[in-house]
Amino acid sequence: MRNICSGLSSMVETMTISAMGALGDGLADHRGETIYVPGALPGETVRATIGDGRANDVEIVTPSSERVSPPCPHFSECGGCAVQHWADAPYRAWKRQLVVDALRRQGIEACVAELVPGVPATRRRATFSVLRRPDGVRLGFQQAGSHAIVESVECRVVDPILVKARGALKALAKAVLPIMKVAAKPASMTVTVTRTGLDVALAGDFALTEPARQAAIGIALRANLARLTVRDEVLAETRKPTVSFGGIAVALPSGGFIQATAKAESAMRDLVAGHMQGAKSVADLFSGCGTFALPLARFARVHAVEGDRASLAALDAGWRAATGEKLRRVTTERRDLFMRPVTSKELDAFDGLVFDPPRAGAEAQAHQIAASRVGKIAAVSCNPVTLARDLAILTAAGYRIVSVTPIDQFLWSPHVEVVALLER
């Protein structure tokens, strides 16, 4: 028997787990109510107290044959991973099924490929929670539903370079952050592994004093960070943090977005580029720093549209600096695609289109795409639910789904990346 979670209630109930929920909790049907059971797997019998539709004090009575030992000693405490205790095959099937179910809820029956698997210790970008207390600095990931921080000393997900940098990161936090109350909201520290070193950005509700500024600069230099940014102020930049998009170098702007793992990015790029072959002019909407736009420029003219000025500047500079590459012309346009989507008439100038929006999806933009004559579309998303909604808009207008590929970019979490390819 194994105690997985604790809480308060008055009666102990016995339940059988029938399925895995979308967020990684086991689901049990108890007296006509769906109960969310953290840490439980399909087929298991558990005993637990129940409150507000959720199980507490969970005790596994009959464990599943699919239960495995979690590779991380912090699992069940840290809020970063949900299903390290599940065998690989059913875990992969569950992640793929999340995509299938999201599409079906929109009335879409499509052939969904097998999940492109994630790889441990390859996540190059992570946002840590950090809190300075009188007894020291806490740096790691937050417990689910709590401000408590679990120290990520042996994280099995992130690049080992991020784990090795913990000492320097905690020193930075100690130098910059004030001593905070137990209930205070932690500051956030986003750290990215780039080709030229670590890019560190610290953000939160605190004031940066001049002594703290000077101390942080000294730590950044001693730790040989590529760049340190605190509350949007670049304190130190010894060299441009540089990433590669399909072999094309781009200097990442402070706070600039890149995909969490290089392997997942490569899988997405291969799918998108393969589908766009033969296109002469491609629109890349929500283009970021050029993840897709720059590699596509090897065979097509590209118009990149993005709301962030710094990301567009980095994309343009990367295109201009790629002197060893025979790239087609890349133009950029700063535009809030939620407030002012590219119109169908504007889109008619392109025979290919890529869009990779935030988790909210691109509903307004999808309606304009649906009314256009663009022949090939690649839709990239980190949210199967909003992707399915947007695909329903496109298929209702006559687009056909060629393929849907789920990609496990966020290993052992309920998050899944998806690339859907469509054509008129």
Strand partners, 48: 13
Question: Could you give the CA distance from residue 308 to residue 397 in angstroms, rounded to a whole number?
Answer: 30
Question: Could you give the CA distance from residue 334 to residue 307 in angstroms, rounded to a whole number?
Answer: 5
Alpha helical stretches, state H, 124-252 = 160-164, 166-176, 210-222
Catalytic residue ranges: 382
Token pair of 192 as six digits: 């990215």
Please give the distance of CA 394 from its chain centroid, rounded to a whole number: 24
Task: Please name which of 287, 267, 255 lies closest in space to residue 127, comparing C-alpha atoms.
Answer: 255
Strand partners, 194: 197
- Give the list of residues 6+ apart from residue 104 with CB closer than 8 angstroms, or none: none
Question: Could you give the CA distance from residue 250 to residue 292 in angstroms, rounded to a whole number?
Answer: 12
Task: Please name which of 229, 174, 163 lies closest in space to residue 201, comparing C-alpha atoms.
Answer: 229
Question: Could you give the CA distance from residue 239 to residue 251 in angstroms, rounded to a whole number?
Answer: 9
Token pair of 270 as six digits: 């291969």
Question: Could you give the CA distance from residue 382 to residue 355 in angstroms, rounded to a whole number?
Answer: 12
